Amino acid sequence: MNCLSALERAEAISQIQKEEYDILIIGGGITGAGILLDATTRGLKALLVEKNDFASGTSSKSTKLIHGGLRYLKQLDLALVREVGRERAVLYRNAPHLVIPERMLLPLIVGGSFSKFMSRIGLAIYDIFASVKPGEKKKMLSKEETLALESGLNEEILLGGALYSEYRTDDSRLTLEVIKTACNLGGVAINYTAFTKFNYDNDQINGISAIDTMSDNSFQLKAKQVINAAGPWVDEIRENDGDLGVKKLHLTKGVHIVIPRNKLPIHQSIYFDAGDGRMIFTIPRGGATYIGTTDTNYSGDLNAVRVSKEDVNYLITAVKKMFPATDLSVEDIISSFAGIRPLIHQEGKAPGQISRRDEIFITDSRLLSIAGGKLTGYRKMAKKVTDMAMERLVNEFNYKHISCQTRFVVLQGGDISDIGAFKSDLEKSLSGMGISEDQAFYLTHTYGSQSLKILAELNGEDKEIALAIAEMNYTIRFESVHTLLDFFIRRTGRLFFDPLSIEKLLEPVAKKTASLLKWNEERIDKEIQSVKLALKEIVQFD
């Protein structure tokens, strides 16, 4: 059974009801995905259920950086800088297609967060603790050198700059590839399946009730250990098991806006002072640049997080302070996205001061919940919580202890020894096929080696449409795509980063999907309308 084929979903749902799992994970963001992979590679029988699409929560709305932990350096948390630096190296080795080295420019300004002296010392420490490779180490720049790189920076406040090493990723694709890797090794993951309540035996959780949100069918799932990895929804799930106790989540909202690249002609990613003590990223991606993020307390609906006018104005004002010549305005925004940080509450601390460390909660009924943390540290978080689950399986169910195996597990699509050579070869093949060479970057960093499977299916006169259809065909069969939005947002990133391309692709892609998933006219229309609505919402600010 291929549980990630949308064509085999009914069979998969029927099968999981017959099994008893060692570990059942609630939540298909990066945290849940990491646990599924960790448990599966230890030989445990593991199931993950996600109420919406995989990565539809915070794990598709982040800044998409695999951090080296520069912000922890400011908090003098050297152990954390070392940990995330090491994790970054592991991830780069295991998923070279999804982890792209990115030189980040840090402009140093009058009254800014980083002084010249501090950044020189701080970045040198960062290079050591984050295990930065020799060719990627920090470089301090004079004012003139900084302006030579980015002439649009505010000369009046600029003192100089520093280049340091960060890595960029695509959070949804990372989540997807972790899930696919786990499922390829025997794990099971089902999207559009929501936890509804816990089931107990002698006051200990022995499974959950769940609902297939596509058919509205409810069913029971059995497991020795249930793990709650529901990100911002962690407390909502914990409440189902009783009182939350003293430790609670603190939710904060982070917004990004996306603009055409020519509206802010920068040449690399920049990490700059917003002017209020916070820092903002501007990161080019394809033909667009995304800018973020905000950090404000959030208590609204977790299932409908909106970008406000205030969020947008804050980001535009910050950009204008640093790039005074830009005439950037709200009308230039082509899309936006808002995510919720599931942080652990610390009394009296403002959003930006709350630790990003993760924490595990355990109850008498044996529910394990994990929250906090970062995308970057997902593998370590998974190890920590799976170690606890393993210990229980050993002590209470006589399992043989198996330690974490994920350090050397290559993610799907990452079996490429030289990513540069792979991209060049792809460029050559694409030009032979009549496809723009630009697509080589997109395909390499979206699907890695799996691009070849997609290109093998290419068929049709208009190559742009043919490619999108081949991608849809692939993602339906191997990545649990059930709706057009799954495809346009989380499998391809087009809705956020290339929304203008969707108009041409929408009808042909919908037609192909309808033929594979057997949609009737009413469903096709509903799906097309949902994409059109999403296209409006990404530029509508409350």
CB of 31 to ligand FAD, least distance (A): 3
Query: How many residues interact with ligand FAD (rule CB under 6 A)?
Result: 38
In eight-state DSSP terms, residue 87 is H
Q: What are phi and psi of 285, to 5 degrees?
A: -145, 110
Q: Specify the length of the chain in residues.
A: 542
Q: Give me the helices (H) in 230-375, please.
A: 234-239, 309-322
Contact status: 119 vs ligand FAD (CB under 6 A): no
Contact status: 26 vs ligand FAD (CB under 6 A): yes
**Near ligand FAD by CB under 6 A: residue from 31, 172, 451, 483:** 31
**Near ligand FAD by CB under 6 A: residue from 23, 36, 41, 63:** 63
> What is the torsional sign of CA 179, 184, 189, 190?
positive
Contact status: 28 vs ligand FAD (CB under 6 A): yes
CB of 47 to ligand FAD, least distance (A): 12
Look at the block and give the residue holding tokens 């505010």. Answer: 154
Under a CB-based contact definition with an 8 Å cutoff, are residues 36 and 25 in contact? yes
The tokens of 388 are what?
């606890």
Binding positions for ligand FAD, 175-204, rule CB under 6 A: 194-195
CB of 158 to ligand FAD, least distance (A): 25
- Give the Cα separation of 129 and 139 in Å (integer): 16
Helix (H, G, I), strand (E, B) or coil at 332: helix
Is 363 buried (19+), middle (13-18) or exposed (0-12) by CB count in 10 A?
Answer: middle
**Near ligand FAD by CB under 6 A: residue from 62, 94, 146, 412:** 62
Stretch of 15-23, 30-38, 272-280, 495-503 contacting ligand FAD, by CB under 6 A? 30-38
Contact status: 67 vs ligand FAD (CB under 6 A): yes
**Near ligand FAD by CB under 6 A: residue from 36, 375, 390, 393:** 375
CB of 194 to ligand FAD, least distance (A): 4
CB of 371 to ligand FAD, least distance (A): 7
Stretch of 14-22, 55-63, 176-184, 492-500 contacting ligand FAD, by CB under 6 A? 55-63
Contact status: 64 vs ligand FAD (CB under 6 A): yes
Is 35 buried (19+), middle (13-18) or exposed (0-12) by CB count in 10 A?
Answer: buried
Contact status: 293 vs ligand FAD (CB under 6 A): yes
Stretch of 103-111, 125-133, 141-149, 374-382 contacting ligand FAD, by CB under 6 A? 374-382
Under a CB-based contact definition with an 8 Å cutoff, are residues 175 and 56 in contact? no
Contact status: 369 vs ligand FAD (CB under 6 A): no
CB of 353 to ligand FAD, least distance (A): 16
Q: Which is nearer to ligand FAD, 146 or 480 (CB)?
A: 480
Under a CB-based contact definition with an 8 Å cutoff, are residues 254 and 61 in contact? yes
Q: Which is nearer to ligand FAD, 58 or 412 (CB)?
A: 58
Q: Which residues are registered as beta bridge partners of 211?
A: 194, 218
CA distances (Å), origin 256, targets 94, 248, 283, 289, 335: 28, 26, 10, 10, 9
What is the per-residue binding string for ligand FAD in 241-280, x denoting contact by CB under 6 A?
Answer: -------------x--------------------------
Contact status: 312 vs ligand FAD (CB under 6 A): no
Q: Which is nearer to ligand FAD, 108 or 344 (CB)?
A: 344
**Near ligand FAD by CB under 6 A: residue from 21, 36, 38, 56:** 56
Q: Which is nearer to ligand FAD, 312 or 430 (CB)?
A: 312
Contact status: 505 vs ligand FAD (CB under 6 A): no
Under a CB-based contact definition with an 8 Å cutoff, are residues 290 and 258 in contact? yes
CB of 57 to ligand FAD, least distance (A): 2
- Give the Cα separation of 527 and 18 in Å (integer): 32
The two beta strands, 296-297 and 193-201, are: unpaired
- Give the Cα separation of 501 and 482 in Å (integer): 21
Contact status: 96 vs ligand FAD (CB under 6 A): no
Contact status: 29 vs ligand FAD (CB under 6 A): yes
Which amino acid is located at 472 in the chain? M
Widest pairwise Cα distance in the chain: 71
**Near ligand FAD by CB under 6 A: residue from 49, 91, 106, 274:** 49
- Give the Cα separation of 22 and 434 in Å (integer): 49
**Residues contacting residue 537 through CB under 8 Å, at least 6 positions apart:** none
Q: Which is nearer to ligand FAD, 252 or 439 (CB)?
A: 252
CA atoms within a 13 Å half-sphere pointing along the CA-CB vector of 128? 7
Q: Which is nearer to ligand FAD, 31 or 475 (CB)?
A: 31
- Give the Cα separation of 181 and 94 in Å (integer): 11
- Give the Cα separation of 160 and 106 in Å (integer): 9
**Residues contacting residue 494 through CB under 8 Å, at least 6 positions apart:** 488, 501, 502, 505
Which amino acid is located at 404 in the chain? C
Contact status: 351 vs ligand FAD (CB under 6 A): no
**Near ligand FAD by CB under 6 A: residue from 289, 335, 376, 492:** 376
Contact status: 493 vs ligand FAD (CB under 6 A): no
**Residues contacting residue 18 through CB under 8 Å, at least 6 positions apart:** none
Contact status: 30 vs ligand FAD (CB under 6 A): yes
**Near ligand FAD by CB under 6 A: residue from 112, 284, 373, 414:** 373
A 10 A CB-CB count for 215 gives 11
**Near ligand FAD by CB under 6 A: residue from 40, 41, 58, 386:** 58
- Give the Cα separation of 27 and 381 in Å (integer): 14
CB of 445 to ligand FAD, least distance (A): 16
Stretch of 54-62, 152-160, 312-320, 387-395 contacting ligand FAD, by CB under 6 A? 54-62
The footprint of ligand FAD (CB under 6 A) covers: 26-32, 49-52, 56-59, 61-65, 67, 194-195, 229-233, 254, 293, 339-342, 373-376
